[in-house]
Amino acid sequence: MYEQAQPVRYPVSGSGIGQTAGPSSQTSHCGQQRFRKDNNSKTCSSKKAGSSSGPYEEAEAVYHTINDRDVPPPLPHPHPAQHSDQEATLPRAGTGNESNPGNLRCEAHTSTDRTSEDGPDSHLSRCKLIRIHMYIAMAFMAIMIMVGFCLMMIANTRELTRLSSAVEVLQGDLHNTSKKLTAFDTLKRRLDYDESRITFLEERLHEMTKKLESSNETVESKISFGGRGSEPGKFNGNYGVAVSTDNEIFVTDYHNKRVQVFGMNGVFLRLFPTKVLLEHKHTLINPYGVAVDTISNVWVTGDDDDNDLPQVYVIKYSSKGGLPLTIFNKRKPTKYTPPTITIDKRNNRIIVAISNEILIFLPNGSLSQSFVMTQSEGTGLYPLTPNENGNVIIADYDSVHVYSKSGDHMYSFRGEGKDKGQMAWVSGIGVDKSGYIIVANTGNNRIDMFTKQGEFVRTMVRMNGPGALAIGPEGQLVVTSTRTVTVFQPRVVFL
């Protein structure tokens, strides 16, 4: 009645997997009964209608219409290799539905597909798992990219912050440098301006010097006082001058037999007579030279009224009362010359020149040493002064001689004449704080300055008949002339 159908393989779990099942009357009977009951059953009709969806959808429909009990047990097959290549399912004979492929597919698949490892569900699960893994990998890569990007952004932000700080520091340095350059330019302009002013002032000073030298006029700050007379403040033979540490001026008044004291402003302060006790009676001497020591004692050299050969005296007086304290020397020289005196304050020595002999006393009146000037020209006047080394500088008409402490001649500088650096009748000499030698060039009516070695520097002031001179503690220049005394302040204009 039915044609023999081709054997169909039904994959089943267990020991029958891979075996080929033959025709089953039970399966055929199931298929015939279901298709007989409702040839238009929903399941098969839906499978028929949706047969174009694919084999997996059709197998799923068959799965819902076939019970496990309808599936026949696997049949042994003597020649499984003969059917290994047959994959299609053949219709059964006598069913009346041979022409419906959908129904054939429904009859060919059983519930064993649900438990097969290689079935449609396992394939879908694997695809879904692969997709999930891909999505996870993609998400992980995206997260890693975002983390790397964030780290790069943080690093770039830090680098940008550091670079911004460095730029700000550089901008500050640039600003400071700009300010310094501006200040430097301003200073340079000021220096250029000052240099131009200095050049202009030097030219003006040179012009003024030429004018003053040509007219023999001087412009200086000076104070003059004195005059001829016997009343206080007047002079009659002011041959010696000295200045104390408290700016008091001591002037000898030879013929009036006294020493007068003035302030640095020329105001008369006091006087005292130059008296001395001789043979139990007071005798006045004629004062010539004067000097003041470090404790303001006044030292005076003078002579008596013997017209043939006067006797020379060296006397120490108190500074305020003018009382005679000690007579250091009383002698009659073989040849008379006015005695001069100076004090070496650094070495506390009293130096006296009598004729061509130099006497050096200690403060107690004892004679320390003496020597004879080997370079003396015998003019009769020997003003002298010490320098900062304790050497003795002695003037002699048109020459200046320098002797050591022990009395050895060191060097001399001379030059008689009226030109610059030349001398004629030197009446006074002194040394300023810088060591320059100041010479009263009486015969040339000027006061000149020389270096320690005797090189001419310049003419300091011009005046008529300068005599003895002294240097004040503040650099004042005090000079005697005929019956007057002139004080030149430190701001004197040196020519």
Residues 250, 174 share a domain: no
Lowest average pLDDT, out of 117-131, 196-210, 270-284, goes to: 117-131
Kind and range of the H or E run holding 102: helix 101-108
pLDDT value for 5: 45
SS3 category, 446: strand
Q: Looking at the 3D structure of the chain, how many domains does it have? A: 3
Task: Pull the structure tokens for residue 132.
Answer: 């999930």
Residue after which a domain boundary falls, among 69, 91, 116 = 116
Q: Which residues contact 468 (CB under 8 A, 6 or more apart)?
A: 239, 240, 241, 383, 427, 428, 440, 479, 480
| Cα–Cα distance for residue pair 121/117, rounded to 1 Å | 8
Residues 210, 181 share a domain: yes
- Does 2 fall in a domain? no
Q: Quick check: 372 and 334 in contact, CB under 8 A?
A: no
SS3 category, 382: coil
Residues 293, 202 share a domain: no
Residues 205, 304 share a domain: no
- Does 206 fall in a domain? yes
**Of 354, 255, 282, 275, residue with least CA distance to 311:** 354
User: pLDDT-derived band of residue 98, with 50, 70 and 90 as boundaries?
Assistant: very low
pLDDT beyond 90 at 478: yes
User: pLDDT-derived band of residue 214, with 50, 70 and 90 as boundaries?
Assistant: low
User: pLDDT-derived band of residue 35, with 50, 70 and 90 as boundaries?
Assistant: very low
Q: Quick check: 415 and 396 in contact, CB under 8 A?
A: no
Name the range with the highest mean pLDDT among 20-24, 281-285, 491-495. 281-285
- The residue with greater pLDDT, 278 or 459, is 459
Residues 459, 380 share a domain: yes
Residues 111, 25 share a domain: yes
Lowest average pLDDT, out of 168-182, 330-344, 456-470, goes to: 330-344
Strand partners for 132: none
pLDDT value for 235: 96
Residues 191, 244 share a domain: no
- The residue with greater pLDDT, 85 or 478, is 478
Residue after which a domain boundary falls, among 83, 101, 116 = 116
Q: How far is CA 147 from the centre of its chain?
A: 51
pLDDT value for 65: 54
- Does 313 fall in a domain? yes
Sequence letter at residue 222: K
pLDDT beyond 90 at 436: yes
- Does 494 fall in a domain? no
- Between vectors from CA 242 to CA 423 and to CA 431, what angle results, nearest 5°? 45
pLDDT value for 362: 87
The CATH number given to whatever domain includes residue 439 is 2.120.10.30
User: pLDDT-derived band of residue 442, with 50, 70 and 90 as boundaries?
Assistant: very high
Q: Model confidence over 48-59: pLDDT tens digits?
A: 444 444 555 665
pTM of the model: 0.56
E runs forming strands in 192-240: 222-226
- Does 3 fall in a domain? no
Residues 348, 449 share a domain: yes
Residues 63, 125 share a domain: no
User: pLDDT-derived band of residue 401, with 50, 70 and 90 as boundaries?
Assistant: very high
Residue after which a domain boundary falls, among 47, 82, 116 = 116
**Of 327, 443, 439, 335, residue with least CA distance to 385:** 439
Residues 189, 328 share a domain: no
Residue whose tokens read 């003041």: 292
Residue ranges making up the domain that contains 447:
223-488
Tell me what the mean pLDDT of segment 204-220 comes to: 60
Residues 475, 374 share a domain: yes
Residues 89, 71 share a domain: yes
Q: What's the chain's average pLDDT?
A: 76
